[in-house]
């Protein structure tokens, strides 16, 4: 079976390619250009498509993001069996949220992903919701913590529950092509502050380098509780050491 991945230059896409999927990063497949997308589908003839391309910077999402976050997955789902990688941000709170629960997005990113879910499901596709990914080489907060901690103090959110999820574990689950709506997220809860303190300890650094804060300046609306259930992927404690240089 040939599984094609869009957004293969990202953290999750890279993990999928490493596990055997055929990946196209944005420079070779701009999912917002139907002619380019059609040419790739005609050449590759995939049995399934994992849609990982997205404007995932939450505070950068606006009407311009709809092309990649909403219209593109809908286009693909009408032409090839499609699995959309969606987000726990389609919920607000309180959690944990089940696959069948009503969605209540609180920001444009979550709203766009909810609309994409509807379009993909209506076309016969499937949805896998996840959140709080981390992996070596990633550019998001948990992935970049070793470098940040090495440089000096780090601010991290306290009092907001997260379920850190190792991207290669999610990739392995995605390649089984689960049907319907599936939740795939790490099975252990923490806060980003405690995650950072744990990593600081593994690095031989003082946990005092981590400054717990209740909110970070410059961030737009975030769900009050975006936890998902069932949470079946390995706990972050079993994977965090993989971040170490």
Residue 200 covered by a domain: yes
As a residue count, the chain comes to 245
pLDDT at 120: 98
The pair of three-digit structure tokens given for residue 14, joined into one six-digit string: 């890279």
> Are 37 and 123 in the same domain?
yes
> Are 99 and 121 in the same domain?
yes
pLDDT at 93: 87
Give the span between the Cα atoms of 73 and 121, in whole angstroms. Answer: 10
- Cα pseudo-dihedral 16, 18, 146, 206, rounded to 10: 90
Domain that holds residue 210: 134-162+187-216+233-243
> Are 52 and 151 in the same domain?
no
The pair of three-digit structure tokens given for residue 176, joined into one six-digit string: 């089984």
Strand partners, 211: 155
Residue 226 covered by a domain: no
Residue 17 contacts by C-beta under 8 Å, 6 or more apart in sequence?
A: 5, 8, 23
pLDDT by residue, tens only, the chain of 245 residues: 999 999 999 999 999 999 999 999 999 999 999 999 999 999 999 999 999 999 988 999 999 999 999 999 999 999 999 999 999 999 998 999 999 999 999 999 999 999 999 999 999 999 999 999 999 999 999 999 999 999 999 999 999 999 999 999 999 999 999 999 999 999 999 999 999 999 999 999 999 999 999 988 778 899 999 999 999 999 999 999 999 98
Q: Is 87 helix (H, G, I), strand (E, B) or coil?
A: strand
> Are 89 and 120 in the same domain?
yes
CA-based torsion, 234, 184, 143, 193: positive or negative? negative
Task: Look at residues 114, 53, 40 and name the one whose alpha carbon lies nearest to residue 79.
Answer: 40
């Amino acid at each position: 079976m040939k599984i094609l991945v869009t957004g293969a230059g990202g953290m999750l896409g890279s993990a999928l390619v490493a596990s055997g999927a055929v990946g196209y990063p944005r420079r070779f497949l701009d999912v917002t250009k139907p002619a380019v997308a059609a040419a790739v589908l005609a050449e590759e003839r995939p049995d399934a498509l994992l849609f990982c391309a997205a404007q995932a910077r939450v505070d950068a999402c606006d009407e311009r993001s709809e092309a990649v976050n909403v219209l593109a997955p809908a286009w693909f789902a009408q032409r090839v069996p499609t699995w959309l990688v969606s987000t726990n941000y389609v919920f607000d709170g309180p959690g944990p949220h089940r696959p069948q629960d009503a969605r209540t997005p609180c920001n444009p990113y979550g709203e766009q992903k909810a609309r994409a879910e509807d379009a993909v499901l209506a076309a016969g596709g499937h949805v896998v919701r996840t959140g709080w990914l981390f992996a070596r080489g990633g550019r998001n907060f948990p992935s970049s913590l070793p470098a940040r901690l090495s440089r000096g103090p780090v601010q991290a959110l306290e009092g907001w529950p997260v379920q850190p999820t190792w991207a290669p574990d999610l990739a392995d689950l995605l390649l089984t092509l689960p049907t319907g709506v599936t939740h795939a997220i790490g099975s252990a809860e923490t806060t980003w502050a405690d995650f950072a303190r744990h990593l600081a300890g593994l690095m031989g650094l003082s946990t005092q380098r981590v400054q717990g804060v209740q909110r970070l300046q410059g961030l737009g609306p975030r769900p009050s509780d975006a936890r998902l259930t069932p949470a079946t992927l390995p706990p972050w404690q079993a994977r965090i050491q993989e971040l170490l240089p």
